[in-house]
Amino acid sequence: MRELIMAYQGEMALKGLNRKTFEVAAMKTIRRRLTDLGRFKVYDAQSTIYVEPEDESADMDEAYARMQKVFGIAALSRAAVCGKNFDEICAVAKEYLAETLQGAKTFKVVARRSDKTFPMTSMELACELGAVLLDAFPHLTVDVHHPDCQVFVEIRDYAAYVHPDKVKGAGGMPTSTSGKASVLLSGGIDSPAAAWMMAKRGLTIQGIHFASPPYTSERARQKVVDLAYKLMPWTGPFKLFVVPFTEPQVYIRDHGVPVLFTVLMRRSMMRVAEKLSIRYGADALITGESLAQVASQTLKAIVCTDAAQELPVLRPLIGMDKSEITDIARRIDTYDISIQPFEDCCTIFTPPHPKTRPSLEEILAAEAAMPELAALEETAAAGAEKLHIE
């Protein structure tokens, strides 16, 4: 029996004259994700991307699992292909869906007929196929409102397709269709969730992590690498830059204004991130900040942080509370890594009572008293270690 994966387009189906660009990008991503699983033919028609194995060794189970993390795909199904005649559709449905139907008590047939030359209407096809399946599986009953399973039959231009319920896809827009951005990736819960959300909007992601040994440990660094590997099935391969940030951070601690330390440190990080982003072709920065979550994320503090450099800063979590962010972290399987108790540089040297409403004038005055900071930032950016997460 010929089987393939049907990937249904979501938002990109609405892109009008630009739609083909998005479809090509999605298919390129799918081909790259499945490279090591065997030979697959990937093609598109009628707002659907088809992924068909070309040899028996192709791993369909793993391909189906990986495609659920490809952005741009709204839903997926594994389907059997058959000719466009009623008898063959019935035979294929009974064989292909036997295991699914044996495990159900109620079912419903949903028929869609984009090829209007097919001699039966969608309603006729659904009713007649339902009757055949009731004869073949007498333990079943029909429930059109809340069935245990649905049987789909789609009559399309070149073939008919039979499949069970669809599974939800990743949604969003295909990777690389919206440009490239750098995420400031800490070891916490928030920044991986922010990276995932912006990758979902079609951005190619690269990560920038700030390490301050000996104040931060090798295990803290490895924690971030582990987070990057959890993101990679969603984002695709990306670069992770590990910035040696000890000297700038200690200099700010020793020469800055203590109550302004966190904002001064964040501004320094943003300047280093800007340098790396420009050098490696990213057009924006991404952070995991949520408004008023901590002292450095008040509106006044964010205004001061943004003024440190000129790239746009994307904050997809800005209006979320912690429980909403945690739900995303659990979905993308980063939560258990993020809660490991290894400090990153954002949590060291933090003053007991940071100023929550700093002004840009006092921040600039504090930086004017640290003339060596710019050179230390240049050195940190130049010394960043580049890791390939793939």
- The reply to whether CATH 3.40.50.620 applies to domain 180-389 is yes
Q: Is 297 annotated as a binding residue?
A: yes
* Average confidence score pLDDT of the chain: 94
Which DSSP string do the residues of 277-317 spell out, in sequence order?
HHHTT---EE----TTSSGGGSHHHHHHHHTT-SS-EE-TT
**Per-residue pLDDT at 354:** 84
Q: Is 38 annotated as a binding residue?
A: no
Q: Is 150 annotated as a binding residue?
A: no
Structure tokens at 279: 């050098």
Instruction: Name the H helices within 17-121.
Output: 19-33, 60-67, 86-96, 98-102
Closest-CA residue to 77 (of 126, 121, 110): 110
Residues of the chain with CATH 3.40.50.620: 180-389
Q: Which residues of 220-242 are buried (b: 16+ CB within 10 A; e: fewer)?
A: bbebbbebbebbbebbbebbbbb
Q: Is 209 annotated as a binding residue?
A: yes
**Per-residue pLDDT at 88:** 96
Which range has the worst mean pLDDT, 8-17, 228-237, 323-332?
8-17
Whether 271 shows a pLDDT value over 80: the answer reads: yes
Residues of the chain with CATH 3.30.2130.30: 3-168
CATH placement of domain 3-168: 3.30.2130.30
C-beta of residue 23 within 8 angstroms of C-beta of residue 11: no
C-beta of residue 230 within 8 angstroms of C-beta of residue 195: no
Q: Is 185 annotated as a binding residue?
A: yes
Structure tokens at 277: 């982003």
**pLDDT of 111-137, one tens digit each?**
999 999 999 999 999 999 999 999 999
84/207 Cα distance (integer angstroms): 49
Q: State the Rg of the chain over Cα.
A: 26
3-class DSSP assignment, residue 115: coil
C-beta of residue 220 within 8 angstroms of C-beta of residue 245: no
**Per-residue pLDDT at 296:** 77
Q: Is 210 annotated as a binding residue?
A: yes
C-beta of residue 27 within 8 angstroms of C-beta of residue 49: yes
**pLDDT of 36-63, one tens digit each?**
999 999 999 888 999 999 988 899 999 9
**pLDDT of 175-212, one tens digit each?**
999 999 999 999 899 999 999 999 999 999 999 999 99
Closest-CA residue to 160 (of 125, 130, 133): 125
Looking at per-residue pLDDT, the higher value among 259 and 346 belongs to 259
Quote the percentage of the chain above a pLDDT of 70.
100
Whether 22 shows a pLDDT value over 80: the answer reads: yes
**pLDDT of 130-185, one tens digit each?**
999 999 999 999 999 999 999 999 999 889 999 999 999 999 999 999 999 999 99
